[in-house]
Amino acid sequence: MGLSQASDGAKNEIGGDSSFRHLRQSKNRLHHSSCIDFSDDMGAWGGNKAIPRQPYSRGVSQEIRGIVMSLITCTGVNLAYDGNIVAKNIDFAVEDADYLCILGENGAGKSTLIKGLLHLKKPSSGTIKLGDGLVAKEIGYLPQQTAAQKDFPASAYEAVLSGCLNSLGIKPFYTVNEKRTAERNLEQLGIAPLRNKCYRELSGGQQRRVLLARALCATKRLLLLDEPAAGLDPVATQELYELIQRINEEMGIAVIMVSHDVHAAVTYAKHILHLQCSQLFFGSATEYRASDVGRSFCEGCAYV
């Protein structure tokens, strides 16, 4: 299906409900067939050494185990550059299939926190723990797009396929499995007709879908999106937000999204984290609307 028919809505462009249910079922089958040992890959990312934990099967439901396992838990996290704290006193957790939106003005520490969650930056103090079988290389990441990246000389398919790099291990070439994953994500996001198009020839909205499909190739559990709708027109922005919501709700993939769009955040996200160099708020979107910070930010007053 072509992407020029923006008025058809994001739901039709991504292949309808059945294709998402099929992918969700595939994801569940994969979880039931795996058993994860945390001792090498998991633990605290921060000042403390990683603590080995006992393995368990992801297929066993959290309710049956009687516990709730978070994918990411930040405890007392401070992040700094050259000794200067840029984000401090950060405490929050993200559970499976959660949708967290990180709000705050420019320079509030949002993108720095994303680097910490990806293990690209170590906290100066506090801990960032990955749990419930998640490892850093299995997180799908959509960074802010630079001018150089917009001019990337590759096809849409090649760009999406590159999201499978972390799964190759010692293999020198992509296998049939990686190629099928790329094709499936192209189809799910409604960009299969663009697979042979040069990436730099695509519109801004099409490029963002390609990058989102690339991020999906890297994960089955968690997406980190750094201002994914920046620079898009209103129609493309709305379609992208609806697409991300469907990925979260129908595929069961947790989402952490950095955004300046507070109205979209309280509409689509389940939880809000508001930063202003330190943490001003963490809680549900409903609680955020009722909070002093949320009301001020929505009205464009003290915290904007």
The amino acid at 302: A
pLDDT at 207 over 60: yes
The tally of CA atoms less than 13 A away on the side-chain side of residue 164 is 22
Given a cut of 70, whether residue 62 has pLDDT beyond it is: no
pTM value?
0.76
Residue 67 confidence class, pLDDT cut points 50, 70, 90: low
Bridge pairing between strands 278-284 and 271-276: antiparallel
Backbone torsions φ then ψ of 88, nearest 5 degrees: -140, 160
Residue 9 has pLDDT above 80, yes or no: no
**Mean pLDDT across 269-283:** 96
CATH assignment of 10-299, given 3.40.50.20, 3.30.750.24, 3.40.50.300, 1.10.10.60?
Answer: 3.40.50.300
217 near 163, Cβ under 8 Å?
yes
The domain segmentation of the chain, as residue ranges, is 10-299
Q: In 3-state terms, what secondary structure has residue 268? A: helix
203 DSSP assignment: -
What pLDDT, on a 0 to 100 scale, did the predictor assign at position 128? 96
Work out the end-to-end distance of the chain between its first and last CA atoms, rounded to an integer number of angstroms: 40
Distance CA 303, CA 294 (A): 9
The maximal CA–CA distance of the chain, rounded, in angstroms, is 54
Checking if the pLDDT of 43 tops 70, the result is no
Q: Write down the pLDDT at residue 68.
A: 56
- Residues 215, 230 contacting (CB under 8 angstroms): no
Across residues 145-155, what is the average pLDDT? 83
Q: How confident is the model over 91-145, as pLDDT tens digits?
A: 999 999 999 999 999 999 999 999 999 999 999 999 999 999 899 889 999 999 8
Whether residue 94 contacts residue 254, with contact meaning beta carbons closer than 8 Å, is answered with yes
